Structure 1
Amino acid sequence: MTARPTLICCSHGTDSPEGRATITALVTRAAELLENVPFRETYVDVQHPQVDEVTASVDGPAVIVPLLLSPGFHTAVDIGRAAASRSDVVATRTLGPHPLLIELLADRVHAAGLTPGDHVVLAASGSSRPEAAARVRDVRDACALAIDAPITVGYAYGATPKVADAVAAAREAGAARVIAASYVLAPGHFAGLVSRAGADITTPPLGADERIARIIAERYAEGVAELASLSA
């Protein structure tokens, strides 16, 4: 394998201009961290080009990095199918769980003004796939070591409890305030659902933070190592 594999960054896709700009900024920064590796941006829903099309069109080996926080339908089906379509393409793990995401979530919650008596709801997008919920629970457990407050999970869509229900349960349990820690990558539909779930404070989506670009670069390196082992 002589040519540097193309970095294919595959996100969900969104109608939000701010969300689209966030994803593009992350992809561009990750490519810079990788010393300007060739890269493509693609999606599984809403936007085009979609992942099958991009994977088929790339010249030479490629690494698909899901710009998704947890595994689920899109990683197993859309991204999995695209990676399986070529012997010189691999797909990596999702961005989460990762220690840098825990650090970022904790920073956001503390910046929101966490005080004694507050309750934190880790507000994820949601998926019907059990592996997604398992990874979100892993993130919650790690956040519990970094945030000095009770932490429960709520989902914007596709799983229960919904964020609004988790917020209500926290209040019923005696929380002075409820902080929804947005475990959503970029502005868009799911971030909007989280923001309207009734928490006293909602942290912004994770956004184009340098730490997320570093995770993307790390996942790419993992994929390159896997390609090398396959061709050895």
Structure 2
Amino acid sequence: MNPRPTLLAVAHGTRSAAGQRQIRDLCAAVARRRPDLDVRLSYADVQQPRIGAVVPGVRDAVVVPLLLSAGYHVRVDIGDAVRGTGIPVTAPLGPDDVLLESLTRHLAAPARGGEQKAKPDEADAVVLAAAGSSDPAWRESVHALAARIPGGAHVAYAAGAESRVADVVADLRRRGARRIAIAAYLLADGLFYRTLHRAGADTVTPPLCLDPAVAGLVLRRYESALLTSAPAGM
């Protein structure tokens, strides 16, 4: 009997127990949707097992980066791990319309306790908060995503020296904004996500991986790889 094909998910890794649980729950949701797949979770940084340690033990696999950009971890950590194996690597989860729709939906959703969250057409300002990267293509994709949020959004980063989230929020306050919503372009809870709650905005959207639609996006990435380079036996 042939072993099940493997969807090898690769997350960044985090020290946050909540973030670790959220990523495991995302992979569990993927596995429930596709019981014919062996869904395995590995990491590019921080946590174990690392992608390089898992790849030698899998067959008929597709690597799906649970990342929002094709940055260093995709090019180097994942690229080095699969080099010479023939295992295909899909595009990362972002940018994608599923994530844009999730951000927009949560910006408009009621907050806990009945209080209404800021909506894109009601807030004085919406800030799209991303992790930060020196990759020009990644930064360009974040700005393009911000322009597609209804009403537009200001881009800010949770790390790096430029356009820090707290600084952008403070500047918007000085310019007269009274109600500011942060659209968190982050997949899971962790250090970066928690800084958004200390940035001075009125609301922050939840981590993207909590949206059930993201499990479907992971599977679409997997299936897209099969259309172009299916491993032997699939």
> Scaled by the length of structure 1, what TM-score is found?
0.89
Secondary structure class of the residue paired with 2:23: helix
- After TM superposition, the structure 1 = structure 2 runs for residues 90-169 of structure 1, keeping only pairs within 5 Å, are 90-111=88-109, 112-114=117-119, 116-143=122-149, 147=150, 149-158=151-160, 160-169=162-171
Aligned to 2:82: 83
C-alpha displacement of 1:42:
0.5
CA-to-partner distance for each residue in 1:56-77, whole Å, 9 max, x for gaps?
221x121111111122111111
Contact 1:97 1:138 in 2 (8 A): no
Asked if 1:38 is matched to 2:38, the reply is yes
Structure 1 distance, partners of 2:160, 2:60, is: 34
Give the 3-state SS of the residue equivalent to 2:146 in structure 1. Answer: helix
Q: State the partner residue of 2:201.
A: 199
Identity percentage of aligned residues:
39
Using a 3 Å threshold, how does the CA distance of structure 1 residues 34 and 141 change in structure 2: closer, same or farther?
farther
For residues 63-115 of structure 1, give each alpha carbon's deviation from its aligned partner in whole angstroms, at most 9, with x where no partner exists.
1111111221111111122222412x111111111111111100111122326
Residue 56 to residue 158, structure 1, CA distance change in 2 (3 Å): farther
Give the structure 1 partner of residue 173 of structure 2.
Answer: 171
Cα distance in 2 for partners of 1:179, 1:69 equals 21
Query: How far does residue 187 in structure 1 lie from its aligned partner after superposition?
Result: 0.8
- Opposite residue 67 of structure 2, the aligned amino acid is L
The alignment of Structure 1 onto Structure 2 pairs a total of residues equal to 224
SS at match of 1:91: coil
Displacement of 1:209 in angstroms is: 1.6
Which deviates further from its counterpart, 90-99 or 28-37? 28-37
Contact 1:183 1:206 in 2 (8 A): yes
Q: SS state of the match for residue 40, structure 1?
A: strand
SS of equivalent residue, structure 1 residue 70: coil
Question: How does the TM-score come out when normalised to structure 2?
Answer: 0.88
Structure 1 position 45, deviation (Å): 1.0
Structure 1 residue aligned with 2:211: 209
Counterpart amino acid of residue 224 in structure 1: L
- In structure 1, C-alpha distance between the alignment counterparts of 2:123 and 2:85, rounded to whole Å: 53
CA contact (8 A) 2:9 2:63 kept: yes
Q: Contact 2:118–2:181 at 8 Å: present in 1 too?
A: no
Show structure 1 runs of 5+ residues with no match: none
- The Cα of 1:176 is off from its aligned counterpart by 2.1
Q: CA deviation at 1:53?
A: 0.8
AA partner of residue 94 (structure 1): P
Residue from 184, 187, 193 that aligns with 1:185? 187
The partner residue of 2:227 within 225, 228, 231 is 225
